[in-house]
Amino acid sequence: MKYHAGLDVSQQTTSICIVDEEGKTFAERKVASCPEAISEALEPFAVTRAGLETGPLSVWLWNGLKERGVPIVCMDARHANAALKMMPAKTDRNDAIGLAQIVRTGWCKSVHVKSTASHEARAHLATRSQFVRTRCDLENQIRGVLRTFGILFGKRVGGFAKRAEEIIAGELDASPTIQAVVEALMRARANILEPIRHLEAKVA
């Protein structure tokens, strides 16, 4: 006898429905949304295939279940939802039943799930990009504040920090309030430079 499983994943729990070859519900479970708990719940049934929808936890769960030998497929949520709309009432239990039937019949579009390493690299690059944007925003804020008071930042040999120090020590000497504002912005900029250098070294 072949069994198929549908996994309806929410942030805290996952509803599991296991159906046989004829589509009859054989077992139902509700476990924590983590690879360990789900694989333990499926293990006694030796399912032929289990399926979950794309979602916030799908990458983590798919990779974790794959590592544990679960024959898991990730379904396009839009395609799955089109079929699930035919269920009499939308509940986690009914969605799990519907997903199990979709997996059994094969009426689903399988989505390629990138490896954990790929997502780590993507997170690395995205974080570096965010830090660089923040640094640029801080520099633009400093230029904008100074421009309001008639001070043009311009370009000087030695870079941004050296020019800012010249302005703080010279042209802002008579304005303690704006001097404090620019110093605070420069401290924030300095704090973000080290993470940028660290991430850029890893990218290189």
- pLDDT for 107-152, tens place per residue? 777 788 888 888 888 888 999 999 999 999 999 999 998 888 888 8
In the sheet with 25-32, reading across from the earlier edge strand, the strands are 25-32, 13-19, 4-9, 49-53, 72-75
Per the confidence metrics, is the pTM higher than 0.85? no
DSSP annotation of 55: S
Return contacts of 101-104, CB within 8 angstroms, 24+ apart: 101/6, 101/19, 101/23, 102/6, 102/51, 102/75, 103/4, 103/5, 103/6, 103/49, 103/50, 103/51, 103/73, 103/75, 104/4, 104/19, 104/21, 104/23
Question: Is position 72 within any domain?
Answer: yes
Q: Are residues 15 and 93 in the same domain?
A: yes
Q: Are residues 44 and 75 in the same domain?
A: yes
Q: Are residues 14 and 96 in the same domain?
A: yes
Q: Are residues 99 and 180 in the same domain?
A: no
Using one digit for the tens of pLDDT, what is the confidence trace for 154-193? 776 678 888 888 888 887 776 788 889 999 999 999 999 9
Q: Are residues 82 and 122 in the same domain?
A: no
Instruction: Tell me what pLDDT residue 61 has.
Output: 95
User: Considering 77, 105, 133, which residue would you say is the last residue of a domain?
Assistant: 105
Instruction: Tell me what pLDDT residue 156 has.
Output: 67
User: Residue ranges of the alpha helices (H) in 149-174?
Assistant: 160-169
Using one digit for the tens of pLDDT, what is the confidence trace for 37-70? 999 999 999 899 999 999 999 999 999 999 999 9
Q: Which of 15, 2, 87, 93 is nearest to 48 (CA)?
A: 2
Q: Are residues 27 and 101 in the same domain?
A: yes
Instruction: Tell me what pLDDT residue 57 has.
Output: 93
Q: Are residues 79 and 136 in the same domain?
A: no
Instruction: Tell me what pLDDT residue 19 has.
Output: 95
Q: Are residues 93 and 124 in the same domain?
A: no
Look at strands 13-19 and 4-9 and give their pairing: antiparallel
Containing domain of residue 101, as a range?
4-105
Structural tokens at position 158: 């030695």
Question: Is position 174 within any domain?
Answer: yes
Q: Pick the range with the lowest mean pLDDT from 75-79, 82-86, 165-169.
A: 82-86
- Total of domains in the chain: 2
CATH number, residue 45: 3.30.420.40
Q: Which of 97, 51, 101 is nearest to 77 (CA)?
A: 51
Question: Is position 19 within any domain?
Answer: yes
Q: Are residues 126 and 199 in the same domain?
A: yes
Phi, psi of 32 (to 5 degrees): -65, 150
42 in Cβ contact with 70 (< 8 Å): yes
Instruction: Tell me what pLDDT residue 141 has.
Output: 94
Q: Are residues 180 and 147 in the same domain?
A: yes
